[in-house]
């Protein structure tokens, strides 16, 4: 009799456990929440402040590996200074596929529209709504809270081969400075006192024809 009682109790416990588990599985999964990255450690080379672990597209956007196939992308400090004050930010919408080197963001700065390209190929999964609502984040904090999107990039290892990384970043930025100085002779010196970045809002200070040339040269859009 006692054995029968134990078996009945066991079946009762298993039934309760089954229905509880079924109810939990049936719940809608909570969406993944992305927060801004912590402020990166910065290295100082050739007068530039360079965030550790970031990879850069020649069009002056960056990517930071977030684990798996996910990367966070944004605009680098060189581009941020060229732009200066940003009034409007329009990021490619979520669930859209972008190619490496294809437009991922358009923005209005000084009454002029500029486009910047994605550093990787993949699906935009998250858009930083904070930077859309407060475009000044893009230039005030380009490597942390000013990020623009999360992209799921299945071919990340292949894409990274086309990016500027590690010890090559400082010489590449220095080359950008040299090219910029050569194009903007009428506003020389175009650099800040430390020689590292363009004067804030430089694109708004030049003639329309030169502005277009600079955007094509450095943003590659």
User: Looking at the domain assignment, is residue 130 inside a domain?
Assistant: yes
Q: Residue 164: which CATH number? A: 2.40.50.100
User: Looking at the domain assignment, is residue 196 inside a domain?
Assistant: yes
Looking at the predicted structure, is the pLDDT value of residue 97 above 60? yes
- Domain interval for residue 74: 42-219
User: Looking at the domain assignment, is residue 109 inside a domain?
Assistant: yes
Q: What is the pLDDT of residue 23?
A: 39
Kindly report which listed range (3-17, 32-46, 103-117, 127-141) carries the lowest average pLDDT score.
Answer: 3-17
Q: Indicate the number of domains in the chain.
A: 1
Round the average pLDDT of the chain to a whole number and report it.
Answer: 84
Pairing status of strand 42-45 against strand 97-98: unpaired
Q: What is the pLDDT of residues 12-62, one digit of tens each?
A: 545 544 444 443 333 333 345 556 677 899 999 888 899 999 999 999 999
Contacts of 4 (CB under 8 A, 6+ apart): none
């Amino acid at each position: 009799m006692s054995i029968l009682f134990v078996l009945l109790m066991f079946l009762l416990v298993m039934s309760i456990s089954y229905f509880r588990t079924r109810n939990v599985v049936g719940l809608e999964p909570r969406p993944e929440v992305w927060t801004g990255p912590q402020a990166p450690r910065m290295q100082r080379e050739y007068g530039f402040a360079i965030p550790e672990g970031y990879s850069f597209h020649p069009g002056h956007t960056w990517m930071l590996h977030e684990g798996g196939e996910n990367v966070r992308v944004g605009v680098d400090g060189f581009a941020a200074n060229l732009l200066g004050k940003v009034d409007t930010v329009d990021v490619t919408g979520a669930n859209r596929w972008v190619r490496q080197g294809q437009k991922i963001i358009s923005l209005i700065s000084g009454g002029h529209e500029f486009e910047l390209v994605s550093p990787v190929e993949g699906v935009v999964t998250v858009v930083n709504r904070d930077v859309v609502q407060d475009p000044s984040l893009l230039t005030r904090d380009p490597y942390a809270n000013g990020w623009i999107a999360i992209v799921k990039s299945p071919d990340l290892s292949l894409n990274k081969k086309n990016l500027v990384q590690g010890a090559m970043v400082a010489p590449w930025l220095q080359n950008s400075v040299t090219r910029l100085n050569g194009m903007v002779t009428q506003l020389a010196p175009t650099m800040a006192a430390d020689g590292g970045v363009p004067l804030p809002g430089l694109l708004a200070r030049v003639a329309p024809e030169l502005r277009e040339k600079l955007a094509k040269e450095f943003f590659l859009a």
